Structures are given as C-alpha cells and as structure tokens.
Chain A
Amino acid sequence: MIWFAALAILAGVLVSLSRQINGRLALSTSAMESSFWNHIVGLGFITFVALLVGGLFAGEPTASPWWAYLGGPVGVIFIAAGSWLIARIGAAQTALLIIAGQMISGVVLDIIMGAPGDLWARTVGVGLILAGMWVAQGGKRT
C-alpha cells in the first residue's frame, strides 16, 4: 500500500517534470515543436515497452466509439499550452490553474454526461476552487 502511494506521488512528480522538460525545449524551439517531440518520443517509448510486455491490442479496441480516438489532437494542444505557460507563469502556477480548470470542467462534464454526484460536495468544491483562483489572480494585478 505504501509502495502504491509512493508510485502515485511519483506519477504526479513526473507530470511536473515532463512539463518542465517540454517547457525548456519550447524555450529553444517553439511550444508546438516541443509538443511534437513529446508525442513522437513518448510513442517510441510506449511502443518499445508494449512490445516487451505484450497485450497492446488486447480487449476490443475496435468496439470503442469513434470520438474516443480524438484524445491525441487535444493532447497536442494540451502539451503545447503547458510548455508555453510554464516559462511565463512558473511551474506551480501552471500546475495549480490547470488543476483548477480540470476539476471544474470535470464537474461540468459529469453533469452533462449525467454522472451521479453529490450536489453539496460539488458546490463547496467548485466554490473553494473559484475562491482560490480569485486569490491567485489578485496577486498578479499589482
């Protein structure tokens, strides 16, 4: 259990590490070029590991809805935006605002998709995040 907790924390560290490295590449090239290298190098790495472990095409991947295949182009813009932002507002501010955006849009998506949810928890959670964003934004105005 403690090992899995350490792995989950490490996963978060690697998200930040990846954004910093891509951000550094974007400083020398461009945000979009950094996103390209992130994807092609990641593709090579995943292909290599999948060939070692096997089971890349296990399950019924062809049965998934067509729109599930749209994650790639969205991810390209996500990585490019992160690389662009991190050099301008810093790693912590970038991470914090992306988390805020993810959490609030997640609630909106859940409501659209009709996922069950606790109204009070959603209201308090979104309220705290909006308050935090208001505080963060106020500090940049001076």
Chain B
Amino acid sequence: MSQASQPNPMIYFSAAFGTGGLLSLMVLFNGTLAAYGSLFFASWVPHLTGTFAALLFLVILKPKRAHVARPPLWVYLGGVSGAITVMLTSATLNSALALSGTIALGLAGQMVFSLFADVRGLFGLPQRTPVPRDFVALALIIAGSLILIFFGSGT
C-alpha cells in the first residue's frame, strides 16, 4: 500500500492463493495419517519430517540473515501455538461441532484476530488499516467458504 519498493502485488496475491493450495494437500496427507494412527501421530510425523526438510532447504538455499542481532526469545514460540491448534481442533472435531463447525468457527477466529493484529501492528509487524474494499472482499470470500463448508460436501 504505502511501501516504496513494492513489486507487483499480483506476486503476493498468487503466492498466498497457492499457499492455500498447499494447506489442502497438508489436510489430505495429515488427515490420512490420522485415519490410521493417532491424532498426535498425524501432527508429530509432519513436524519431524518437516524439521529435516527445513534443515535441508536451509543448507541448499542458504538464505541471507536479515539481521545479525538475535531477536527476542518469544519469536521462537510460533511452533507451540501451531501445535496447540492441532490439539484444540482434535477435541472440537469429536464434539457436536464436527468438521464443518470446527472449520467455520476457526475461520472466524482467524479473521477477527488477523484484522485486530493489523490495526494494532501487533508483534512488531507493520501496522495497517483495512479499507472498505477489504471488508467487501472479506464478506464475499467468507460467504463462499461457509457455503462450501456447510453445503459443498453433498452428504
């Protein structure tokens, strides 16, 4: 929006959309693991293989460090938050909420907290204020998602 040397926003746009496609693959792979093993196992295995895959990527790509100075310790705790997510959803999946309710309420929590974080510029990330157009896009995408979640899978 206001950054100077910003490349074509379509790059970010397509990258984010493609990242969502990766999430579908993860749900398929990890969900299949969970059908055979425990829910712990279905989260433990991708974290284990992912740790080695990330190490391999780091060795091959050698990405440049943005800063030499070490960031505060709490920035290393993102993985804990992600792991707790898996445990919470495994609890709600088996409740009356089922899969559709779990996903729908999760989307709500994710969007509200993301907007709040943007407006406040939480955790040292750039502060940004959503414009009316952002809310129109939000309403359309969430409405389409809810239709797919509750009516899309036929049965």
Q: Give A contacts to B, CB under 8 Å.
A: 1, 4-5, 7-43, 45-47, 49-50, 53, 55-65, 67-82, 84-107, 109-110, 115-118, 121-122, 124-133, 135-141
| 14 A/B residue pairs, CB under 8 Å, sorted by A | A8-B88, A9-B105, A14-B81, A17-B113, A37-B76, A43-B51, A89-B16, A95-B110, A100-B144, A100-B145, A101-B18, A115-B154, A121-B147, A137-B10
- Tell me what chain B mostly uses at the interface: helix, strand, loop, or mixed: helix
Per the bound structure, the CA–CA distance linking A80 and B86 in Å amounts to: 18
What residues of A have a CB within 8 angstroms of the CB of B1 in the complex? 140
Among B36, B43, B115, B148, the residue within 8 A (CB) of A60 is B36
Bound CA span A56–B16, Å: 33
A-B pairs with lowest CB-CB distance, top 6 = A101-B20, A12-B109, A72-B49, A132-B140, A128-B144, A61-B37
Q: A4-B95, A71-B49, A102-B27 are in contact. List 19 more A-B contacts (CB 8 A).
A: A1-B97, A5-B101, A5-B105, A29-B71, A30-B63, A32-B61, A35-B57, A38-B78, A40-B79, A41-B76, A67-B29, A71-B46, A92-B118, A95-B114, A101-B16, A102-B20, A125-B145, A126-B148, A140-B1
- CB neighbours of B25 from chain A (8 A): 70-71, 74, 105, 109
Q: Which of B46-65 contact A (CB under 8 A)?
A: 46-55, 57-58, 61, 63-65
Given A1-B96, A78-B23, does the pair A132, B137 have CB atoms closer than 8 Å? yes
Is the pair A42, B109 in contact by a Cβ cutoff of 8 Å? no
Known: A30-B63, A109-B24, A136-B134. A12 touches B148 (CB 8 A): no
B95: chain A residues at CB < 8 Å are 1, 4
Q: Which residues of A contact B54 (CB under 8 A)?
A: 32, 35-36, 39-40, 76, 80
User: Is there contact, CB below 8 Å, between A81 and B19?
Assistant: yes
- Residues of A within 8 Å of B105, CB to CB, are 5, 8-9, 11-12
| A77 & B22 in contact (Cβ 8 Å cutoff) | yes
Return B42 CB to nearest CB of chain A, in Å: 8
Would B85 and A99 count as touching, CB distance under 8 A? Answer: no
B74: A residues at CB distance < 8 A: 21
Q: Within 8 Å CB of A67, what residues of B?
A: 29, 32
Q: Which of B71, B83, B85, B122 contacts A28 (CB 8 A)?
A: B71
